[in-house]
């Protein structure tokens, strides 16, 4: 097991020890993401044990972190892929994931859908337009359909993907239109898909599962034959102490009972699919960064780091909370004080310690008083950090990514970007400029 070190009120990420953080920073520089193979595999095992009666497929929502090494680890565990764009499909295939293990569910119809279908991927239509387009390309075939069940869950409206305020899927009251399109193109439905958002309330999950199974039954009564019900992901993971995490067993047992009830009413035993993303990778990752400067105002003391919204956008976007600890490089007698941790971007919102769920407000953290040259470790950065970063803002290159394997050896799985990488696609053009110029300033 990887050790977990405590420095006063700080708890270091379970991914690395202090000594490992120092060594990784020395070898790979900062900022650097670090992922634990052990934690990734532990979370995969928990997901694969989700309660079910008639079979289970776990799909990794690869938008959470699409690094090909992580995809390969999950593929080896028998986990399939949930892709959110045609580009993600291509990344999964490039990582060696078989096409038949990939389900494409996208807001935007991919320009190369015809080519992707040749890879034997499964397609999940999320709108009338997508369903018609698929029917024209592949009549008399199977398809999946995403339905908005009319309810959702999430800690704010930016993480809620179900209900009347969400554009994801086809509204559940419009099934007659879906049936007409299916009949027009002689399509049968392999899978019904719903997704409610990033919540942890098992009562909401049970409610939406029941709504989804009712929709599933309506398809059978209309003459279609879905065999799979995909309930999506949205299993919340507590990154901070005291934050609630989804208990998959508690969440899944009532859903399992509901599946048994519907199996008694229709001529099939529906297979269950789930699509965890955050659950699988969030706490399997941390970010190691450097302390660049220290500043004070009459109200606050600031730690200035060499990371920020370019690597961890969630605090600025959601007011999301990540555990942060200071790793000293020299001192042995630490003192603690309250700090605001600031990012390196020229942006007032680039703060790693906002108030919970309120990116407009600041919340001090009690941390080891750092010196310039110390390190900070930001926990819970395995999900929606590298993949959702404000990449290249202020022309900062993308961070390196490192895997800590089961033997505690480090592997570089993504090189640090260079300025040349950023500017490679810029082209020189010849322009005629207006008279005047930089010397005509008066």
Query: Cα-flanking dihedrals φ and ψ of residue 280, to 5°?
Result: -80, -35
The whole-number pLDDT of residue 54 equals: 97
Per-residue pLDDT, averaged over 184-212, amounts to 83
One-character DSSP codes across 3-27: ---EETTEE--TT--HHHHHHHHHH
The whole-number pLDDT of residue 156 equals: 41
For residue 176, count other CB atoms closer than 10 A to its CB: 9
The whole-number pLDDT of residue 161 equals: 43
Confidence of residue 351 (pLDDT cuts 50, 70, 90): very high
Per-residue pLDDT, averaged over 118-137, amounts to 96
Out of 15-19, 141-145, 403-407, 413-417, which region has the weakest mean confidence (pLDDT)? 15-19
Instruction: List, for residues 279-331, the tens digit of each pLDDT value.
Output: 999 999 999 999 999 999 999 999 999 999 999 999 999 999 999 999 998 77
CA-closest candidate to residue 415, choices 430, 431, 434, 398:
398
Burial annotation 334-370 (CB, 10 A radius, 16+ → b, else e): eeeeebbbbbbbeeeebbbbbeeeebeebeebebbbb
Residue 188 has pLDDT above 80, yes or no: yes
Out of 3-7, 92-96, 110-114, which region has the weakest mean confidence (pLDDT)? 3-7
Contact (CB, 8 A) for 246 and 50: no
Instruction: List, for residues 218-247, the tens digit of each pLDDT value.
Output: 999 999 999 999 999 988 899 998 888 888
Per-residue pLDDT, averaged over 182-203, amounts to 84
Distances (CA, A) of 116 to 62, 108, 122, 441: 17, 14, 9, 56
Contact (CB, 8 A) for 172 and 130: no
Helices and strands per DSSP (H, E), number in the chain = 12, 22
Q: How many CA atoms lie within 13 A of 295 on its CB side?
A: 11
CA–CA distance, 99 with 119 (Å, rounded to integer): 5
Mean of per-residue pLDDT scores for the chain:
91
CA–CA distance, 94 with 295 (Å, rounded to integer): 46
Confidence of residue 2 (pLDDT cuts 50, 70, 90): very low
The whole-number pLDDT of residue 236 equals: 87
One-character DSSP codes across 201-234: -HHHHHHHHHHHHHHHHHHHHTT----EEE----
Per-residue pLDDT, averaged over 57-84, amounts to 98
| C-alpha torsion sign, points 257, 259, 260, 265 | positive
The H or E element spanning position 196 is none
Domains, the chain, with CATH or none: 6-30+283-423 (2.40.37.10), 37-276 (3.20.20.10)
- Alpha-carbon Rg for the chain, nearest whole angstrom, is 24
The whole-number pLDDT of residue 414 equals: 98
Instruction: List, for residues 15-66, the tens digit of each pLDDT value.
Output: 999 999 999 999 999 999 999 999 999 999 999 999 999 999 999 999 999 9
Which tokens belong to 405?
Answer: 């394997």
Residue 439 has pLDDT above 70, yes or no: no
Contact (CB, 8 A) for 53 and 259: yes
CA–CA distance, 116 with 334 (Å, rounded to integer): 56
The whole-number pLDDT of residue 244 equals: 82
The H or E element spanning position 90 is helix 86-94
Residue 154 has pLDDT above 80, yes or no: no
CA–CA distance, 148 with 95 (Å, rounded to integer): 31
Residue 164 has pLDDT above 50, yes or no: yes
DSSP conformational letter for 199:
B
For residue 243, count other CB atoms closer than 10 A to its CB: 15
Confidence of residue 204 (pLDDT cuts 50, 70, 90): confident
The whole-number pLDDT of residue 374 equals: 96
Per-residue pLDDT, averaged over 134-140, amounts to 96
The whole-number pLDDT of residue 206 equals: 81
The whole-number pLDDT of residue 281 equals: 98
The whole-number pLDDT of residue 435 equals: 74
Out of 72-76, 204-208, 348-352, which region has the weakest mean confidence (pLDDT)? 204-208
Distances (CA, A) of 333 to 19, 274, 336, 350, 368: 17, 48, 10, 30, 10
Residue 332, classed as helix, strand or coil, is: coil
CA–CA distance, 112 with 85 (Å, rounded to integer): 11
Confidence of residue 265 (pLDDT cuts 50, 70, 90): very high
CA-closest candidate to residue 341, choices 356, 351, 327:
351
Which tokens belong to 338?
Answer: 């309250």
The whole-number pLDDT of residue 93 equals: 97
CA–CA distance, 384 with 441 (Å, rounded to integer): 46
Per-residue pLDDT, averaged over 398-408, amounts to 97
């Amino acid at each position: 097991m990887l050790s977990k070190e405590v420095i006063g009120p700080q708890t270091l990420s379970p991914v690395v020890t202090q000594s490992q953080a120092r060594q990784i920073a020395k070898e790979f520089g900062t900022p650097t993401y670090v992922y634990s193979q052990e934690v990734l595999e532990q979370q995969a095992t928990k997901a694969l044990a989700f309660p079910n009666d008639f079979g289970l497929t776990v799909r990794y929502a690869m938008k959470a972190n699409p690094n090909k090494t992580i995809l390969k680890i999950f593929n080896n565990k028998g986990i399939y892929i949930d892709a959110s764009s045609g580009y993600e499909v291509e990344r999964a295939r490039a990582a060696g994931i078989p096409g038949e293990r990939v389900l494409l569910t996208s807001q935007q119809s991919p320009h190369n859908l015809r080519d992707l279908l040749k890879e034997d991927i499964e397609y999940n239509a999320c709108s009338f337009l997508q369903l018609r387009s698929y029917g024209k390309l592949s009549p008399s075939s199977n398809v999946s359909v995403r339905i908005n069940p009319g309810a959702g869950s999430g800690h704010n409206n930016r993480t809620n993907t179900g209900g009347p305020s969400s554009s994801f899927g086809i509204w559940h009251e419009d099934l007659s239109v879906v049936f007409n399109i299916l009949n027009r193109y002689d399509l049968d439905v392999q899978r019904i898909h719903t997704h409610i958002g990033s919540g942890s309330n098992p009562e909401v999950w049970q409610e939406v599962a029941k709504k989804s199974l009712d929709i599933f039954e309506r398809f059978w009564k209309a003459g279609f034959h879905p065999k799979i019900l995909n309930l999506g992901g949205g299993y919340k993971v507590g990154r901070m102490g005291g934050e609630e995490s989804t208990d998959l067993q508690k969440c899944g047992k009532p859903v399992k009972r509901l599946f048994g009830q519907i199996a008694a009413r229709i001529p099939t035993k529906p297979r269950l699919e789930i699509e965890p993303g955050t659950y699988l990778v969030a706490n399997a990752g941390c970010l190691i960064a450097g302390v660049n400067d220290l500043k004070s105002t009459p109200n606050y003391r600031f730690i200035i780091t060499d990371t920020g919204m370019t690597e961890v956008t969630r605090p600025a976007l959601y007011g999301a909370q990540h555990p942060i600890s200071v790793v000293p490089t020299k001192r042995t007698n630490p003192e603690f004080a309250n700090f605001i941790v600031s990012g390196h971007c020229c942006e007032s919102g680039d703060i790693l310690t906002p108030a919970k769920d309120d990116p407009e407000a600041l919340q001090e953290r009690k941390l080891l008083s750092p010196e310039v040259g110390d390190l900070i470790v930001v926990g819970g950065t395995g999900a929606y950090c590298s993949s959702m970063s404000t990449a290249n803002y202020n022309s900062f290159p993308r961070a390196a990514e490192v895997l800590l394997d089961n033997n505690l050896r480090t592997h570089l799985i993504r090189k640090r970007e260079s300025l040349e990488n950023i500017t490679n696609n810029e082209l020189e053009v010849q322009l005629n400029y207006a008279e005047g110029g930089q010397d005509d300033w008066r």
